[in-house]
Chains A and B, each alone.
Chain A
Amino acid sequence: MKLNIQSYHIFPLGDAAMTIDYGNIIEESINREVIKRAKQLKNNLAAVSEIIPAYSSLTIFFDLLKIKKLAPANTLAFDYLKEQVDQLLQQPLDEENNEERLMKIPVCYEEGFSKDLDQTASSKNISREEVVSLHYSKIYRVYMLGFLPGFSYMGVVSDSIAMPRKSHPQHVASGSVGIAGRQTGIYPMATPGGWQIIGRTPLKLFEANAHEPSLFKAGDSVQFYPISKPDFYEIQNSSLSAEGDRG
């Protein structure tokens, strides 16, 4: 299949970074392109320190001093790098080598782990059980990581359980599963947060000393499955990892 080259615009994010923006939109095909392009650019650009893929954009951080040395005199580092980026983005990418994984994540939706579930159910005029089954009956995509170490932005949840963020952040326990708009995500550590909490996973999503500290990466598919409280504690104690390869 031939891929269309997506339209984008590039803007400076300060003097040592630039963002390639594919539009203010959450869409799977664009996100897939973003993740592939991140890899392509990382492998083909000199003096780039890192690239953050987000929903529909890529941010390139570069070493301003090194780029200035590479660039012809009187050329802005931004213009010099942008030209190379434009060239690379004109090259079509092959469809193959899709490394997207399916991660199965146990979630306990029971009381004590789901402080905003009742509120969600009543404001959506459905039962607790319906919120829960709507949440786990869909496979989600990890669009990006951000906010906190290992925090995954997944989507999109059914409109029937989409909920606005809280107006004030509240304390959230590690492993809490939340909803914000049509996004869902898991807090990898205890923190103040504004998402509506409907469950909790016993899995550790972030282990600082692991080779890859974050369990998830952008592009993963995630399937939640409901577990009981005893199961929650059993999994927590046996420190099982997700049914996916962490390497």
Chain B
Amino acid sequence: MNLRIIKGGVLDTVQDMGRTGWQHQGINPGGAMDKLSAQVANILVGNDRNEAVIEIHFPASSFFFEQPTLISLCGADFSASINGDEVPLLHPILVSKYSILQFHESVAGARVYLAVHGGLNLSKWLNSYSTNIKAAAGGHQGRALQKDDEIGFRLSKDFCPFINKQEFIVLPWKAGNTWTGENPGEIFVLPGNEWAWLTEESKEKINDQLFVITIQSDRMGYQLSGDPLSVTNSEEVVSSGVNFGTIQILPDGQLIVLMADHQTTGGYPKIGHVISAHHHALAQMKPGNTIHFRITDLQTAEELFLKQEQHLLQLQNACAFRLDTFIKI
């Protein structure tokens, strides 16, 4: 009844939509970096959108399925295979007993999400499955997955009759691509409270110049490199709340974008915030990629977010229908 890790990866953790309600104790929300892909992965296997998934980086773990189940992979293309045969992203896939899921090559994107029908048999910490490595809590034992870890399925259906003797079956429906590749076009940014501190020249640079994601980038934040920006105000900012997507300017004029595991509060000037609808695109970018920011307004940000939500709802309805019909056959 288990998913077993037969080879460890560089950073594979259990995540959901994040832990809300504890930031006042300094406990960051965490959660999937690319929440859109994580939700689509869950929708494809008939799960609640907030169900626990495994966020996989490259080099990735290898997974052994001790029981037949229904899985999906969404997000980065790491050239996935089951028992050596290539499998696609964005499809529900029936997997037979004793199958091995492996990832061979980082083709595109930064992280891929593995969802399992019925979810993973873990306990929540502070109402979330997300792994908080700093607090050593949540997810699977509060840490990244390692070789020989076993995670139970919370299986609710017997998939044996559907699989017969096949090793896996890629079901014939597919979700639309959730991300736009490593060149997602413009990343929309709302001006932050200290936007006005930037010199006119620096404001223009935000829109015009490309920022490179440096190697000092991880689940906490992306440090960017570009022509240094300048502020006209050198006042120290008293620490206050920050958010996923908050862009801060460091004393040396470089920018940092806060990501899922960001600190709850920060004291650097906040010059902008990446809009919610573009978090997933940012989350699939990696060191070496370049970001093209575009300043936008709240109305655009809200419209794009609502569009994304509508897309997820439609997908949820369509997938539920297909899956129900299939399982009833």
A residues at B contact (CB < 8 Å): 11-17, 19, 21, 24-26, 38, 49-59, 61, 64-65, 68, 76-78, 144-151, 153, 189, 191, 206, 208-209, 212-214, 217-218
Minimum distance in angstroms from A232 CB to a CB of chain B: 23
Q: Given A68-B306, A77-B302, A209-B137, are A217 and B25 neighbors across the interface (CB < 8 Å)?
A: yes
**A56 vs B244: C-alpha distance when bound (angstroms):** 21
Asked whether, in the complex, the Cβ of B265 is within 8 Å of the Cβ of A64, the reply is: no
Residue B329 at the A interface, CB < 8 A? no
7 A-B Cβ contacts within 8 A?
A13-B270, A14-B275, A15-B190, A19-B241, A56-B240, A68-B302, A149-B135
B residues at A contact (CB < 8 Å): 20-28, 125-126, 132, 134-137, 142, 190, 192-193, 235-246, 263-265, 270, 273-276, 298-299, 301-302, 305-306, 309
Residues of A near B246 (CB, < 8 A) are: 13-14
**A56 vs B246: C-alpha distance when bound (angstroms):** 19
**A25 vs B236: C-alpha distance when bound (angstroms):** 10
Minimum distance in angstroms from B262 CB to a CB of chain A: 11
Minimum distance in angstroms from A47 CB to a CB of chain B: 12
* Among A13, A14, A146, A214: residue with most chain B CB under 10 A: A14
Q: Given A14-B246, A149-B27, A208-B125, are A54 and B241 neighbors across the interface (CB < 8 Å)?
A: yes
**A24 vs B305: C-alpha distance when bound (angstroms):** 31
Minimum distance in angstroms from B278 CB to a CB of chain A: 10
Name the one of A52, A78, A147, A206 contacting B241, with C-beta atoms under 8 angstroms: A52
**Who on chain A is nearest to B297 by CB?**
A76
**A11 vs B134: C-alpha distance when bound (angstroms):** 30
Residues of A near B126 (CB, < 8 A) are: 213
Asked whether, in the complex, the Cβ of A64 is within 8 Å of the Cβ of B135, the reply is: no
Q: Given A19-B240, A52-B23, A218-B24, are A14 and B235 neighbors across the interface (CB < 8 Å)?
A: no
Minimum distance in angstroms from B193 CB to a CB of chain A: 5
Residues of B near A218 (CB, < 8 A) are: 24
Asked whether, in the complex, the Cβ of A149 is within 8 Å of the Cβ of B134, the reply is: yes
Asked whether, in the complex, the Cβ of A17 is within 8 Å of the Cβ of B238, the reply is: no
Asked whether, in the complex, the Cβ of B134 is within 8 Å of the Cβ of A208, the reply is: no
Residues of B near A68 (CB, < 8 A) are: 302, 306
Asked whether, in the complex, the Cβ of B276 is within 8 Å of the Cβ of A61, the reply is: no
Minimum distance in angstroms from B36 CB to a CB of chain A: 14
Minimum distance in angstroms from B263 CB to a CB of chain A: 5
Residues of A near B241 (CB, < 8 A) are: 13, 17, 19, 52, 54, 57-59
**A49 vs B19: C-alpha distance when bound (angstroms):** 10
Name the one of A51, A146, A209, A214 contacting B239, with C-beta atoms under 8 angstroms: A146
Q: Given A208-B135, A213-B25, A217-B25, are A15 and B240 neighbors across the interface (CB < 8 Å)?
A: no
Residues of A near B27 (CB, < 8 A) are: 149-150, 213-214
Minimum distance in angstroms from A5 CB to a CB of chain B: 20
Asked whether, in the complex, the Cβ of B132 is within 8 Å of the Cβ of A17, the reply is: no
Residues of A near B26 (CB, < 8 A) are: 145-151, 214
**A38 vs B274: C-alpha distance when bound (angstroms):** 26
Asked whether, in the complex, the Cβ of B242 is within 8 Å of the Cβ of A13, the reply is: yes
